[in-house]
Copies of this chain bind each other. A is one copy, B any other.
Amino acid sequence: MDTLRGLGELGLGSRLKRVSEYMMKETQIAYNHFNIDFDPYLFPIFKIIVHKDGITNSEIQSSLQYTQPAITQAINKLNSKDLIIHELDEIDKRKKIIHLSKKGKDLLKTIKPIWNSIDAVIKAYTLETSSSLIEHLNSLENKLNTKSFSKAIIEHVDMKVKQHIEIITYRNEYANYFYELNVEWLQAYFYVEPYDEEILGNPEKYIINKGGHIFFAKLDNKVVGTVALMPLSNKGDFELTKMAVSPEYRGHKIGQKLMQYCIDYAKSIGLPKLILYSSRKLENAIYIYKKYGFIEIPVEPNCHYKRCDIKMELVF
């Protein structure tokens, strides 16, 4: 029994608070799902800084109508997350001028599609005619009860990405993306071994010209992921390798899309199986490999990669 709803207009204040807190919490869940390190409560202030580069504490305060210490504290939080940088005003030394940092700009790129989806979901939930504010809140809460806000956001983002993602085959003007995407994640999780450097720097020599294949995931004309099918030395075995997704677009199942494409392609050209090498450190990746049917097999001692401690196989 929802007593708060039963209080009608009298409980409006508490009601608004409850809906607000629910939405904030659910937005946090959606951000977490997409591995975005951001707090929903920082949204208005972050948005203002994005909109007006070089804004000051008190300018933010007057346009948001929060108290000044609230702004100072939020700025400190953004600072501790390295999303902004600030400098002192040359002519008025009391003023603190705030800019987006490199990391802040990167976050902006990553988070924008989520914001678009949040906007779309809220519009879908609230653009309807009703004859009182309470009635509107009732309708919104009913919808949120049937499908959680976070789930609706996540589904909307995924749907958008699904609609716009496209898998394309190698062309030499993409050689650089192949290198960059792979080096990025290797640096983040391990380090770039000489053998990586050699292959990533010469994909045509080591993959294409040896009968292998490289695919790219394109989202709205941006290359956001890659994967390769590389022929192995012994007989006609192929290795599924060099899979990488741009950090800004992780969480959108782009890796899985590339994987499915590779599997379908391998089947279509009559390969009997696929091999892959990985590291047990990458638990999520291993989980996905298993989901797609890969089974662990013994790893040979003289593996190309130092980081490799697991070998898997998918037999068609």
Contact residues in B for A2 (Cβ distance below 8 Å): 63, 65
Q: How far is the CA of A14 from the CA of B288 in the complex (A)?
A: 37
| Chain A residues engaging chain B, CB cutoff 8 angstroms | 1-4, 7-21, 23-24, 27, 40-41, 43-44, 47-48, 63-65, 115, 118-119, 122-123, 126-134, 136-137, 140
**Residues of B contacting A1 with CB < 8 Å?**
63
What are 13 sample pairs from A and B whose C-beta atoms fall under 8 A apart? A3-B48, A3-B64, A7-B47, A10-B119, A13-B40, A15-B20, A16-B17, A16-B20, A17-B20, A20-B20, A123-B132, A126-B133, A129-B130
A-B pairs, 10 with minimum CB distance: A16-B20, A126-B133, A9-B122, A13-B23, A17-B20, A3-B63, A16-B16, A129-B131, A133-B136, A10-B119
Which residues of B have CB within 8 Å of A63? 1-3
Q: How far is the CA of A128 from the CA of B65 in the complex (A)?
A: 27
Instruction: Select A12's contact among B3, B65, B122, beta carbons within 8 Å.
Output: B122
Contacts A20-B17, A20-B20, A65-B4; A11 near B129 (Cβ below 8 A)? no
Complex Cα spacing A1 to B44, Å: 14
Residues of B within 8 A of A132 (CB): 123, 126-128
Q: Are A16 and B7 in contact (CB under 8 A)?
A: no
Question: Which one, B14, B48, B118, B134, contacts A126 given CB within 8 A?
Answer: B134
Q: Chain B residues with Cβ under 8 A from A13's Cβ?
A: 20, 23-24, 27, 40, 43
| Chain B nearest CB, measured from A169 CB (Å) | 38
B126 contacts A12, C-beta separation under 8 Å: yes
- The SS class assigned to the A binding surface is helix
CA of A121 to CA of B280 in the docked complex: distance in angstroms?
A: 63
Residues of B within 8 A of A8 (CB): 119
| Least CB separation from A139: chain B residue | B133
Tell me whether A16 and B23 are in contact in the complex, defined as CB-CB below 8 angstroms, given that A3-B63, A48-B3, A133-B140 are known contacts: yes
In the complex, which residue of chain B has the Cβ closest to the Cβ of A21? B17
Residues of B within 8 A of A19 (CB): 16
Determine the chain B residues whose CB is within 8 A of the CB of A128 once the complex forms.
131-132
Minimum distance in angstroms from A219 CB to a CB of chain B = 22
Task: List, in ascending order, chain B residues with CB within 8 A of A47's CB.
Answer: 3, 7, 10-11
Question: Assuming A3-B44, A13-B40, A14-B43, what are 19 further A-B pairs, CB within 8 angstroms?
Answer: A3-B63, A4-B44, A4-B65, A9-B118, A9-B119, A10-B47, A10-B118, A11-B43, A11-B47, A12-B122, A13-B27, A14-B20, A15-B20, A16-B23, A17-B17, A17-B24, A18-B65, A129-B130, A129-B131
Closest-by-CB residue of B relative to A43 is B14
Query: Contacts A63-B1, A126-B132, A128-B131; is A44 near B7 (CB within 8 Å)?
Result: yes
Question: Which single residue of chain B is at the shortest CB-CB distance from A51?
Answer: B3
Determine if A11 and B133 form an interchain contact, defined as CB atoms under 8 angstroms apart: no
Shortest C-beta distance, A90 to chain B (Å), equals 26
* C-alpha gap A127/B40 in the complex (Å): 30
Q: How far, in whole Å, are A252 and B128 apart by their CA atoms in the complex? A: 41
Give A46 Cβ to nearest chain B Cβ, in Å. Answer: 11
